[in-house]
Structure 1
Amino acid sequence: MVQFNCILEDGQSCPTPQLIWRHRHSFPNGTEGNERDIRIENHYSILNNLSASILKITAVKPSDAGHFICSGICIGKGLVKLQNESYLTVKALPKLQLLSQISDSTPSILNVTCTAMGFYPPRIILSWKHTIPEMTRTFQQEAPTLNHDGTYRTSSTLQISDSLWSSGEEIVCEVNHNSLTQPLRESIRREGLLPDSFLLGRLKMCYLKTGLLSTGVLLMVLAVIAVHVRTSKFKHSECGLQDLNLKEEEE
């Protein structure tokens, strides 16, 4: 929660003041929006008395960033007796998520994706730290996309050859953002990389190879049996012919 106070010190010259709050939003690119009156709604609340006003903001959002102006007007005189201005800077810490999966196009390649979520302002840097030699490729970091709550998200993907990632070797995704006092890191090791989908893919490949091998062996066996049957029939026919010739000679 954020609270701003506005106090009219010279109350005698303005016995019936009206204190008004306005907001001018500051965008991440440095531009500013138009001033608008703040009303008691949503996450804003205003408490007024004769010469003071308190503005409270609960559940601060990125859209609250910018200038908050308090103006004191003397009713009936139209004179501005007070105009205070405060600036609110909004920062949201990023959250990290590391996921891995087998490449759809190349089963020997693993895609490790680092996603930063819920951060503000949108400028952020994702980087990778590892000792895997060669055969690695980092996709360009995606441009931050806006979430419904005004925060942002982005991701970066590291492609790794399955055969080059040694057991126990660690891969680290590091995030730098101005809401952090030090870089945020998330890591993953080789032992933790094999999800069910990875194992299932490997099992499917094994089953496929075993099935093809079994089919080949079965075809070979059937071919041998077929040759044996044909050879046996042929020999049997020869034997029958010889018996017939012997019988004719005896006669």
Structure 2
Amino acid sequence: MKAPRHQRAANVLLGRIALGLLVFTVLAFGAKSLIHTEVQARFTPIVVVHAAAMIAWLGLLVSQAYLAAANRFVVHRALGRASILLVLVMLTTGVLISINIGEELGRIEVTIVNVAAFVTFVPLYILAVHYARGKRIHEHRQAMLIATLALMTPAYARVVQVLGLPDPIAIGIQPPITIAIALAYDWLVLARLTRPVLSMLAFSVTVVIVMAAGLLLLVGLPQ
């Protein structure tokens, strides 16, 4: 069964956004490793596995959007069901790496920031699955998009570090970027803002606010 034309356009748009996030992430981490070569010493097997899993997730988001746009729903659903395995790898390696790096650097804030990303991602991923089962396709796409945007803070941080700016800037720019992209997608697809998307954004921003408050209590303001 073919998707309506507006649905195909919405999927193509999501695919382009996802592709942009993928390219940005590769360039951000690539620039960091080339300019600050000392970080290459941290490229342990678990780090490589995590990096591959994260790139695979972004690639999956790209491919899923274009598969839906091409009406290849059987493959789309099969990859969607299999994505839980990828999420488990991302989550397990991400948490372990966050703990290890926080201990290595003596900076618990590094651990908290990275774990907070998954605190946002996991519920939104589960919600996206729920929306897909209920055939609420726009909400499904948005949940996947906002969940993915929650994982982008490390990529923003690499750009901030390459530019020699304070690390907290990466946290500060994450909510407005997420809000801008999600609301723009809502408007471009439906010409209005939807309550489910606003609720998902509220959840995402709340996690960041709670995380930032926790960091202030634990480590104080940056000097």
TM-score range for the pair, normalised by the shorter chain length = under 0.3
User: Normalising by structure 1, what TM-score?
Assistant: 0.19
The structure with higher relative contact order (CA 8 Å, sep 6+) is 2
Max Rg structure: 1
